[in-house]
Amino acid sequence: MLQPHHDGSALHVSTLTPSLGDTVRVRLRIPIAHDEPLEVLVRSNPDREPFFNKAVHIGTAGAYHWWEAEIRVANPVHRYRWLVHWQSGQTDWINQEGVHRIETRDDADFALVAHEPPPAWATDAVLYQVFPDRFARSAQADEHPTPAWAVAAAWDDPVVGSGPGVSEQLYGGDLPGVEAHLDHLVDLGATVLYLTPVFPGDSNHRYNASTFDVVDPLLGGDEALVSLVEAAHARGLKVMGDLTSNHTGDTHAWFRAAAASEDAPEREFYYFHEGGTYASWLGHASLPKLNWNSQELRDRFIEGPDSVVGRWLRPPFSLDGWRIDVANMTGRYEGDDLNAEVRQIIRRTMLDINPDTLLLGESTNDATDDFQGDAWHGAMTYANFTRPVWGWLSVPGSAAFGGLGMARSVIPSYTGVDLHAQHQRFVAGIPWRTRLHNMNALDTHDTPRFATNALPGAVPVALGMAVSLPGIPVVWAGDELGLTGVNGEDSRTPMPWATLDEHAGTIALHRELLALRADQPALRGGGMRWVHVGEEVLVWVRESAESSVLCVAARGFYDVVVEEGVLSLEGEPAPLFGDGGASTFGFGGLRLTGSGPSFAAWSLPGVEVPRTDDEEERELLALLDENASQDAALAHGEPTAPTLTAAWSKDTLHED
């Protein structure tokens, strides 16, 4: 795939955090062996009106000519694509889907986002998802009588996966139990603990909250959350909570007040109809839908430091962010579409309290429209990663019940070409910065477990893809133990702590692959370039100026020749994971052979990028400023770090 390439990474974009009015430099690399460019333009879309900037050739490095253009960021989401006129008379458009002979749609353009950026720690994150009732049970759980709605279960009882009792089966897992096993998360390589809801609700899942004012006493109450967060922070872990902004439970104090009196201020919090009926989530009367036209609801729930969103981010609770349940449905009902208002208010509240917090939204299908960087930092979605990976690496025709969203609840039969096509289609409309923070989940508490229907030996391949494609890897508690489940409820198996030694192999696999991501910066924020797409094998490279990682995911036998110049090579690539075959040949080409299912990764040199005169001048000016600061510090007798000495003054530099 030696063709023109651009992505949103630092190799091609001068800043990932521009402000309105900033000028950003963007770069396109064009293979030397390609048709000669007659003209290279960047077509941006300020105020939704096409505008062309001419790119200039800035040099050659490796097998590529590099072209650079400037874009002034005129809108909070400023879209652009490349246009190349070739000497042959052909014209190519380059956008996030790839290279096209015909004009492309705006919604697949690259995007510069001037909204407040995600916290820096999020790009390196690995999420570990915990369903509190099923993770671990402490002694405090024995102090509570079984509530009237629940049916008590012993820890080794089988899970009720469907039918009566699904939501009522209570194992008694709690927050002190989670705290007791935090070292397991750290040892595995997780950096973020993501808790499903901790507020009281008449169910084991607690998505039907009866209040947002306290932590469920069954989980240990407010004190248990404070203790858990403090213990997690002491180990370098972040902690994210889970909120449902689309609905409450029908036992919530707000809803009870609303149902009891038409004059109650809470009446406007919900969509009531004639005769006392009301809108609810997918017709479930126990989950009445919130009406975000109400300013009072906004004040109580999402706006300001004393709102529900704000209170739990502040000390003593100090959560590090929120995952918002059914974010795609929030604020949308018949003629109303208040989704953008709600998500932006949530993020504004978070910024006012602690800008270093992360906001993820659930949108299980096409997440493009809502995830442009104005609020959600990333999506919990299945269309771009989970479903295509399942289609390629699962037993074809297997049933997949639950929240995965498979058509007819049947896993399709995909080739690697199909996987690539679906992945590209569903990430093409999402800005690069958001794409880096989408959740790469093989499964969650709402879906079957991936291992249930996976092809023999496919788990390492799928997990390798989760840690090496752009996005945040997700480990749903129990995946590292090889647990299975045929639907979301069935997959909520209590963690078998007593038999942990029996799962040493899958634990070691997760530990090794998560460590690979942690050790390789290119796998976290580096650029993304597909090298080969075949029915049985996919090859891609994550790239940065410092280092790159070549990844191979295979379902069957493969023999791939990567042409000279496609990759930056210096001798034999250094193996990082797996035992796939790799050998250099010719003047820098590469042959990859092996059999699958398998995942392999190799270390490659960083990508060489030509430096312009302006860049060299900026670097030298920065060095001179640093030296000036060092001189000032020395003049005051302060210790300084060693630095280079420039033999230029700023005046002579500008004269030259």
The yes-or-no verdict on residue 641 having pLDDT over 70 is no
pTM: 0.93
Q: Where does the pLDDT of residue 2 fall: very low under 50, low under 70, confident under 90, or very high at 90 and above? A: confident
Rounded Cα–Cα distance for residues 281 and 287 (Å): 6
The yes-or-no verdict on residue 644 having pLDDT over 70 is no
**Closest among 242, 130, 134, 222 to 184, alpha carbons compared:** 130
Rounded Cα–Cα distance for residues 99 and 103 (Å): 10
Residue 653 confidence (pLDDT): 30
Residue 242 confidence (pLDDT): 98
Q: Where does the pLDDT of residue 404 fall: very low under 50, low under 70, confident under 90, or very high at 90 and above? A: confident
| Secondary structure, 3-state, 4-15 | CECCCCCCCECC
Rounded Cα–Cα distance for residues 228 and 180 (Å): 9
Of 482-486, 617-621, 646-650, least confident by mean pLDDT is 646-650
**Closest among 425, 405, 517 to 470, alpha carbons compared:** 517
Which residues are CB-contacts of 4 (< 8 A; sequence separation ≥ 6)? 28, 29, 30, 31, 34, 82, 84, 92, 94, 99
Alpha carbons within 13 A on the beta-carbon side of 177: 26
The yes-or-no verdict on residue 567 having pLDDT over 80 is yes
Residue of 114 and 637 predicted with greater confidence: 114
The predicted-structure confidence for 340-360, as pLDDT tens digits, reads as follows: 999 999 999 999 999 999 999
Alpha carbons within 13 A on the beta-carbon side of 476: 25
Other Cβ atoms within 10 Å of 273 Cβ, number: 8
459-468 vs 386-393: helix axis angle to the nearest 10? 150
Other Cβ atoms within 10 Å of 148 Cβ, number: 6
Which residues are CB-contacts of 184 (< 8 A; sequence separation ≥ 6)? none
The yes-or-no verdict on residue 646 having pLDDT over 80 is no
Burial annotation 98-114 (CB, 10 A radius, 16+ → b, else e): beeeeebeeebbbbbbb
The yes-or-no verdict on residue 583 having pLDDT over 90 is no
**Closest among 366, 418, 423, 427 to 392, alpha carbons compared:** 418
Residue 358 backbone class (left: φ over 0; alpha: ψ -120 to 50; beta: rest): beta
The predicted-structure confidence for 194-221, as pLDDT tens digits, reads as follows: 999 999 999 999 999 999 999 999 999 9
What is the percentage of the chain residues whose pLDDT exceeds 90? 86
Instruction: Yes or no: say if 173 and 132 are a contact pair by the CB < 8 Å rule.
Output: yes
Q: Where does the pLDDT of residue 649 fall: very low under 50, low under 70, confident under 90, or very high at 90 and above? A: very low
Residue 619 confidence (pLDDT): 57
**Closest among 125, 55, 110, 51 to 79, alpha carbons compared:** 110
Residue 643 confidence (pLDDT): 33
Name beta bridge partners: 637.
none
Residue 231 confidence (pLDDT): 98
Q: Where does the pLDDT of residue 126 fall: very low under 50, low under 70, confident under 90, or very high at 90 and above? A: very high
What is the distance of C-alpha 293 from the center of its chain?
30
What is the distance of C-alpha 422 from the center of its chain?
17
Residue 613 confidence (pLDDT): 63
Written as one string, the DSSP assignment of 156-190 is: TSPP--SSTTTTTEE----HHHHHHTHHHHHHHT-
The predicted-structure confidence for 511-533, as pLDDT tens digits, reads as follows: 999 999 999 999 999 999 999 99
**Closest among 459, 555, 447, 545 to 508, alpha carbons compared:** 459
Rounded Cα–Cα distance for residues 374 and 367 (Å): 13
Other Cβ atoms within 10 Å of 2 Cβ, number: 18
**Closest among 590, 608, 509, 505 to 552, alpha carbons compared:** 590
Instruction: Yes or no: say if 362 and 380 are a contact pair by the CB < 8 Å rule.
Output: yes
Average pLDDT value over all residues in the chain:
92
Radius of gyration of the chain (CA): 26
Paired tokens of 224? 């248990």
Task: Express the helix, strand and coil content of the chain in percent, nearest 5 each.
Answer: 30, 25, 45
In eight-state DSSP terms, residue 280 is B
The yes-or-no verdict on residue 474 having pLDDT over 70 is yes
Residue of 571 and 146 predicted with greater confidence: 146
Rounded Cα–Cα distance for residues 307 and 290 (Å): 15
Angstrom distances, CA of residue 414 to CA of 339, 389, 419, 560: 34, 9, 6, 20
Q: Pairing state of beta strands 77-86 and 91-95?
A: antiparallel
| Secondary structure, 3-state, 528-588 | EEEEEECCCEEEEEEECCCEEEEEEEECCCEEEEECCCCCCCCCCCEEEECCCEEEEECCC
Q: Where does the pLDDT of residue 636 fall: very low under 50, low under 70, confident under 90, or very high at 90 and above? A: low
The predicted-structure confidence for 417-456, as pLDDT tens digits, reads as follows: 999 999 999 999 999 999 999 999 999 999 999 999 999 9
Write the single-letter amino acid at 277. Answer: T
Residue 261 confidence (pLDDT): 96
